A and B are shown apart, each in its own frame.
Chain A
Amino acid sequence: MKHRFSRLSLAYGLICLAVLGIMVYCTTFLPSYTQLDNPAHRNVAEHYITQAKAETGSPNMVTAVLADYRGLDTLIETSVIFTAGVVTYALIAIRRRKNYIWGGDEDLESDD
């Protein structure tokens, strides 16, 4: 089935062009790209680069940051993955008892 572009699509296109214009204007405020005096490369990253081998013993700086300097973030990350697996299982593949009505009020009536 061919996709039909209606007049609403034109409005969406103009909104997206406006968003693109705002983003392009804002990128000119960014600090100098790939230059060595970028403030993002100065404070913490310089410490991680120079001290990773000495303090953690691993030459791979990304693993040292992820598992040693920011180890607590990786713990919560792993539990997020586990939660996604449990939610997918609970939505599709779980088994219900027979005659089970979710949120029904048969129980209330039988209590009387």
Chain B
Amino acid sequence: MKATTNSIILEVACRLLIPVLIVFGIYVLVHGEYSPGGGFQAGVVLALAVILNRVMEPADTKKGYWTFKIIALAGMGPVIYILTGLWSIPFGGNFLEYSLLPLAVHEAERHLYGILLIEVGVTVGVMATIISIFDSLGKVGDPDDHGSLL
């Protein structure tokens, strides 16, 4: 009979840990301004939830893994960052000047929204890069391995 898990202890522990990690990662991202945290830390915690899922399953269930589309998601991180920076230019500000963002709040609060948008971009970039490095390093002995560019 084909094995469905690597080990029963690993599966039980990961089933308890993965939802907690996802919720904690989003908490660390959103509370980056009031407690220790921010973009890089939240990206690593969210990537850890996906990597625990990869570790839990046996090595030959690789059908649904998108190694190339994850890189496209990693590119969205700097794109979100740059769009937030360019958003204040038509309204008379410099690049990445949060005081002149066109939001309907008090001027001192616009910095908080700008920082939150930036951290979302950083989190998406870091999370997708860590997952793609893990998947690429795990793809080495596959039957469809055509080798590298070198």
Contacts and interface: CB of A to CB of B under 8 A. Distances in A.
Q: Do A and B actually bind?
A: yes
Interface string A70-95: 01101100110110111011111111
B25 interface: no
Contacts of B121: 78
Chain B interface size, as a band, is 35 or more
Interface in B104-138: 108-109, 111-112, 114-115, 118-119, 121-122, 125-126, 128-129, 132-133, 135-137
A60 B35 contact: yes
A93 B135 contact: yes
Chain A: number of interface residues, binned into ranges: 20 to 34
A27 B112 CA distance: 40
A82 B73 CA distance: 10
Contacts of A54: 108
A108 B28 CA distance: 57
A90 B37 CA distance: 32
Contacts of A57: 33, 108-109, 111-112
B82 interface: yes
B115 A56 contact: yes
A63 interface: yes
Nearest to B97: A71
B96 A82 contact: no
Interface string A82-112: 1011101111111110000010000000000
Interface of A: 54-60, 62-64, 66-68, 71-72, 74-75, 78-79, 81-82, 84-86, 88-96, 102
